[in-house]
Amino acid sequence: MTQPSTHTPETAGAKGQSRRGFLKTTGLTALGSMLGMTIPFERNLPAGIIPVALAQDTGADFMAGKEGMVVLGDRPLNAETPAHLLDDDITPYKHLFVRMNGLVPQNALDQDAEGWVLTVDGEVETPLELTIEDLQSRFETVTSRLVIECGGNGRAFFQPGTSGNQWTMGAIGCPEWTGVRLADVLNAAGVKDSAVYTGHYGNDVHLSFDEDKEVISRGVPIEKALEGDAIIAWAMNGEPLPALHGFPLRLVIPGYPASVSQKYLNRIWVRDKEHDGEKMSGDSYRIPAYPVAPGTEVPPEDMVVLTEMPVKSVITFPRTGTELAPETPTEVRGHAWCGKGDVAAVHISTDFGQTWQEAVLDAPHNRFAWQRWRAEVTLPQHGYYEVWARATDQDGISQPPLSPVWNPRGYANNIQHRIALVASA
């Protein structure tokens, strides 16, 4: 069954359609007419390659308002945040990582939600067609701080390396989201006993501009969807969702990799089996069902869907490389989070893991918000030091000093974060 689309790339931006939107929906002949010239080597253009003039601009136009980001790729656009810029309790737009699988739909660029409809169908008693106004009037509005993290965050630290964006520590953030509980909407539709999984769809645009190709369509077990923490959001940090982060609606399903938090959301399909949408099969967001040696080829039948993200922490202050005066107390701080919920403890070491001191750990603002931690360190003498951070979850599982069990696509790396400090007179 394919995704229903009330907003195709042609129609989504029809109102006040921009030149960029026009170029996307025209062929080479129309492009030649617009330029007032022929395209002599049109026949030589390989299948799947889009002319530069038709390609979506992923430069300053799209990154406007972002600050200090490290761009890992521009087609699709992916950018992470250096750790020292993640110090805010509520991650601002300017410092929230960008993970695109396709291209931003034109209606999101135009911030035009006119006629937007969310379909909830499949294994439900009463299929729903909900406008944004319906969501706002029929269900309780909630606001929560929720961590959102790319499943590949930390991929750069696996050895041997794996394919994909080489995220370090910056594919993470904890904005404040406003919307309605996913569970409330599903319960209004009447989830059948046969329901097993959700499948999520959006109207983002495939890199090839082929309307029949899904960009990404993932889902979660129905038990996770009904927990009550997940939100169908229309606002981030008190403002309408930005174009890069899912306008006009997106899911935010905390604890799981951000790939399940569908942007540009226009359909939730309740399934009677594990969802099989785009990037639900093969190695995509899957890990081996058992530990494997680094570099092992794992049979597809032995790969399982990545669900709960492991316990993690990040040091946000001071910035790595900072020079400090010896024998002077200095605050070190950061955040900790866990796919299971609350973090139990955070410890830091300044002697390469020989001894550890417990940090002060704040309670989360709400479940699945990251937790502020802080500690005071004193560097005893002139020299080079590292601060290592180690978070521990409620089951006593801690971050490892080296990369954890390897997997073919480099997911769920929760290696301890380290920063360098120099004590100088």
pLDDT per residue as tens digits for the range 393-408: 999 999 999 989 899 9
Whether residue 342 is found in the same domain as residue 230: no
Do residues 313 and 347 lie in contact, with contact meaning Cβ atoms separated by under 8 Å?
A: no
Whether residue 270 is found in the same domain as residue 327: no
pLDDT of 35: 54
Whether residue 120 is found in the same domain as residue 243: yes
Whether residue 342 is found in the same domain as residue 246: no
Position with higher pLDDT, 415 vs 26: 415
Domain count, the chain: 2
The whole-number average pLDDT for the span 281-292 is 95
pLDDT of 69: 94
Instruction: Identify whether 141 is part of a domain.
Output: yes
Strand order across the beta sheet in which 343-349 lies: 322-324, 417-423, 383-393, 343-349, 357-358
Whether residue 187 is found in the same domain as residue 336: no
pLDDT of 53: 52
pLDDT of 64: 86
d(CA 372, CA 3): 41
The predicted-structure confidence for 54-66, as pLDDT tens digits, reads as follows 444 444 467 889 9
Show the domain range for 158: 65-280
The predicted-structure confidence for 137-161, as pLDDT tens digits, reads as follows 999 999 999 999 999 999 999 999 9
Pairing of strands 357-358, 117-122: unpaired
Whether residue 173 is found in the same domain as residue 94: yes
Instruction: Identify whether 47 is part of a domain.
Output: no
Give 11's pLDDT tier (boundaries 50, 70, 90): very low
Q: How many C-beta neighbours within 10 Å does residue 135 have?
A: 19
DSSP symbol at 261: S
The predicted-structure confidence for 41-97, as pLDDT tens digits, reads as follows 667 766 545 455 544 444 446 788 999 999 998 889 999 999 999 999 999 999 999
Instruction: Identify whether 89 is part of a domain.
Output: yes
Give 37's pLDDT tier (boundaries 50, 70, 90): low
Residue 103 has pLDDT above 60, yes or no: yes
Instruction: Identify whether 413 is part of a domain.
Output: yes
Position with higher pLDDT, 17 vs 310: 310
d(CA 45, CA 67): 36
CA atoms within 13 A on the CB side of 322: 18
Whether residue 254 is found in the same domain as residue 364: no
Residue 293 has pLDDT above 80, yes or no: yes
The predicted-structure confidence for 254-266, as pLDDT tens digits, reads as follows 999 999 999 999 9
